[in-house]
């Protein structure tokens, strides 16, 4: 859908976030803008034998308001609890009155990168110690990736694919022994265990790997006519999308960020915008040595001279890398940046890397005109996704 398209226009009307920095959008946004960090020593299990002992955990989490009963909570993995709760928050933020809407026209798409890893760990212990007869009958429903979507649609009787209103997001809960241990084995994570608040440092010369984060993000997207008819507040308009594959390596990005560059170019074409029309990029920026360089190179390839004139920041220094939840959480940040004309900082940016030479909004948020933004999300296996959103105008 381009800016001049005759197709339906899509706007963002609700935001829900669960993270180490807040379990509602306002608390989360205020902490992001203030430059706070949610990374601490892991408390969920004993990490004394792990190379990386820090993460951005969601603490004191109670999903009760979003669930019909405590029984349903017990039957649900933590990743799905986080996703359902973020969806509930987004629904409340959008002021959707479901009883007045056609539930056949409301779709739910809440993804995950890894899914029910906590359930896998716990049930594997049961299998080894007690045998297959003692496995939970909810084992498979608790671990499959689409269960956050399934549960949210079931609890709120939302039966449509994506016709007028859509809940879209991601959720992840991988701060478990297998999750932390697996990424440690890849040597992908920071080992700055003695200084958790400064461990995730995107684009900084001293970065040594990413830090795990958990949580969820869900946004409500609506057909513009539908949103207007019910008098919804509008954060921004979604106008473009790009999706490419590096076809290069299981974990390493393509040289010079070639796949990421193609993705951003595709998104700009979809949006009908020129590179010079982008005000801000919320970068994937994970704080890995090579990943940050490749994303910087990709941005310079796509934007040319404009690359050094626009703001680029990564919020993973504050939230950690939330894996399958990152894109949705960072899309919520982009929506708030457009709404408030305020760009979040890249915290822990202390020593410039000569190979990362853009304006990364170091350490302090910035008031500025935010007309159009790009949200980058890149993943292992060479998966690239870019969304373009802009300030809504009638």
Place of tokens 């919804």: 232
The 3-state DSSP class for residue 334 equals helix
Q: Whole-angstrom Cα distance, residue 83 to residue 181?
A: 24
pTM of the model: 0.94
pLDDT of residue 163: 55
pLDDT of residue 161: 74
8 Å CB contact between 278 and 291: no
pLDDT of residue 5: 46
- Give the HSE-up count for residue 82: Cα atoms under 13 Å, Cβ half-sphere: 35
Place of tokens 């979040």: 344
Which of 254, 257, 258, 304 has its CA nearest to residue 278? 304
> What are the residues facing 245 on neighbouring strands?
383
Q: Whole-angstrom Cα distance, residue 219 to residue 215?
A: 14
Q: Whole-angstrom Cα distance, residue 313 to residue 325?
A: 18
3-state secondary structure 264-316: HHHHHHHHCCCHHHCCEEECCCCCCHHHHHHHHHHHHHHHHHHHHCCEEECCH
Q: Whole-angstrom Cα distance, residue 279 to residue 343?
A: 10
Give me the tens of pLDDT residue by residue for the chain, a chain 394 residues long: 444 445 789 999 999 999 999 999 999 999 999 999 999 999 999 999 999 999 999 999 999 999 999 999 999 999 999 999 999 999 999 999 999 999 999 999 999 999 999 999 999 999 999 999 999 999 999 998 889 999 999 999 999 875 568 999 999 999 999 999 999 999 999 999 999 999 999 999 999 999 999 999 999 999 999 999 999 999 999 999 999 998 888 888 888 899 999 999 999 999 999 999 999 999 999 999 999 999 999 999 999 999 999 999 999 999 999 999 999 999 999 999 999 999 999 999 999 999 999 999 999 999 999 999 999 999 888 899 999 999 999 8
Handedness of CA 276, 311, 309, 327 (dihedral sign): negative
8 Å CB contact between 145 and 77: no
Which of 123, 116, 117, 124 has its CA nearest to residue 80? 116
Q: Whole-angstrom Cα distance, residue 317 to residue 285?
A: 9
Place of tokens 């969601």: 58
The 3-state DSSP class for residue 91 equals helix
CA-to-CA dists, residue 332 to 183, 235, 240, 367, angstroms: 26, 9, 16, 18
Q: Whole-angstrom Cα distance, residue 79 to residue 60?
A: 15
pLDDT of residue 162: 55
Q: Whole-angstrom Cα distance, residue 166 to residue 159?
A: 11
8 Å CB contact between 79 and 73: no
The DSSP-derived string for 43-64 is -SS--TT-S--EEB---S---G
pLDDT of residue 309: 96
> In the chain, what are the domains?
10-229 (3.40.47.10), 241-390 (3.40.47.10)
Q: Whole-angstrom Cα distance, residue 193 to residue 40?
A: 9
H or E stretch at 152: helix 147-155
pLDDT of residue 381: 83
- Sort strands 215-223 and 165-172 into parallel, antiparallel or unpaired: antiparallel
């Amino acid at each position: 859908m381009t800016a001049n398209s005759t197709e339906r226009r899509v706007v963002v009307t609700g935001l829900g976030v669960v993270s180490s920095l807040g379990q509602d959008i306002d608390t989360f946004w205020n902490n992001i803008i203030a430059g706070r960090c949610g990374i601490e020593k892991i408390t969920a299990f004993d990490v004394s034998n792990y190379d990386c002992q820090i993460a951005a955990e969601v603490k004191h989490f109670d999903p009760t308001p979003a669930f019909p009963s405590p029984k349903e909570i017990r039957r649900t993995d933590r990743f799905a609890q986080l996703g359902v709760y973020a969806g509930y928050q987004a629904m409340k933020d959008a002021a959707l009155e479901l009883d007045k809407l056609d539930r056949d026209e409301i779709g739910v798409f809440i993804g995950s990168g890894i899914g029910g890893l906590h359930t896998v760990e716990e049930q594997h212990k049961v299998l080894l110690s007690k045998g297959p007869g003692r496995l939970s009958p909810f084992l498979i429903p608790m671990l499959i990736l689409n269960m956050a979507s399934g549960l949210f649609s079931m609890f709120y009787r939302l039966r449509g694919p994506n016709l007028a209103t859509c809940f879209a997001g991601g959720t992840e809960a991988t701060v478990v022994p297998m999750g932390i241990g697996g990424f440690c084995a890849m040597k992908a994570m920071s080992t700055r265990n003695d200084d958790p608040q400064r461990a995730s440092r995107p684009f900084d010369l001293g970065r040594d790997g990413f830090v795990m984060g958990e949580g969820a993000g869900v946004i409500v997207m609506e057909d513009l006519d539908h949103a207007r008819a019910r008098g919804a507040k509008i954060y921004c308009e979604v106008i473009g999308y790009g999706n490419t594959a590096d076809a290069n390596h299981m974990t390493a990005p393509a040289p010079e960020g070639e796949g990421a560059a193609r993705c951003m170019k595709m998104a700009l074409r979809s949006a009908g915008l020129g590179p010079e029309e982008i005000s801000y990029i919320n970068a994937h920026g994970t704080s890995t040595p090579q990943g940050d360089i490749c994303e910087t190179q990709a941005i310079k390839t796509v934007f040319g001279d404009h690359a050094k004139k626009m703001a680029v920041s990564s919020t993973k220094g504050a939230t950690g890398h939330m894996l399958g939840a990152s894109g949705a959480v960072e899309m919520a940040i982009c929506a708030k940046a457009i709404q408030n004309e305020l760009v979040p900082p890249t915290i822990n940016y202390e020593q410039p890397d000569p190979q990362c030479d853009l304006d990364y909004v170091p350490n302090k948020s910035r008031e500025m005109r935010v007309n159009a933004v790009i949200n980058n999300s890149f993943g292992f296996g060479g998966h690239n996704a870019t969304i373009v959103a802009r300030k809504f105008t009638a």
